[in-house]
């Protein structure tokens, strides 16, 4: 995102006559979670101890993603969701297409939504993608899950997003 803005600013400075073509995007307002069944405060309270329960609840996932977006780390949840979808893919052709898309979007260096995984995990994932299978992204997905669980979940639980749900 910063790179995108820098490029637009650079172009603006070079061509003052075409400023109208380059409108710098403002960060979007946090989205309201979709109108799926709002969880009971009791149900939402369980999410403090279980990222898995949070991610499996459509309302919880939407709230968590809005929170991550506000922290500029939404790619972690997006990657997790993409991996879950990938694992359900039956057709080898579709699986290969999705694997390539996930790799290009989240794993490769300088990917638009590059997730923060260590060199070893990246290497294992790339090796797994030689022959895509339902488990190709498991190591990376587990790393990102652990990162969200240790890092993002505690901050989410302290956030206004979460406090609105348990009122």
CATH code for the domain of 60:
1.10.167.10
pLDDT at 85: 95
69 in a structural domain? yes
22 in a structural domain? no
pLDDT at 37: 78
Under DSSP, the state recorded for 134 is T
- Structural domain including 74 reads 41-164
Sign of CA dihedral 114, 115, 117, 120: negative
pLDDT at 67: 93
70 in a structural domain? yes
14 in a structural domain? no
61 in a structural domain? yes
pLDDT at 24: 43
pLDDT at 4: 59
129 in a structural domain? yes
pLDDT at 21: 44
pLDDT at 15: 45
For the chain, which ranges sit under pLDDT 50?
A: 9, 11-34
pLDDT at 128: 94
Total domains in the chain come to 1
pLDDT at 63: 92
pLDDT at 27: 44
CA gap 16, 158 in Å, rounded? 45
110 in a structural domain? yes
7 in a structural domain? no
Instruction: Measure Cα distances from 119 to 24, 84, 109, 122 in Å.
Output: 34, 22, 10, 5
């Amino acid at each position: 995102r910063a790179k995108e803005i820098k490029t637009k600013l650079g172009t603006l400075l070079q061509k003052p006559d075409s400023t109208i073509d380059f409108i710098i995007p403002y960060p979007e307002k946090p989205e309201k979670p979709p109108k799926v069944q709002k969880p009971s405060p009791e149900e939402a309270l369980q999410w403090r101890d279980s990222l898995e329960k949070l991610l499996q609840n459509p309302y919880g996932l939407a709230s968590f993603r809005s929170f991550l977006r506000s922290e500029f780390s939404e790619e972690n949840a997006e990657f997790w969701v993409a991996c879950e979808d990938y694992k359900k893919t039956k057709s080898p052709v579709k699986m290969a297409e999705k694997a390539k898309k996930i790799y290009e979007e989240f794993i490769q260096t300088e990917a638009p939504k590059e997730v923060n995984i260590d060199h070893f995990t990246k290497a294992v994932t790339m090796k797994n993608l030689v022959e895509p299978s339902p488990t190709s992204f498991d190591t990376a997905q587990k790393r990102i899950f652990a990162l969200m669980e240790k890092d993002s979940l505690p901050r989410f639980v302290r956030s206004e997003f979460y406090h609105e749900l348990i009122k």
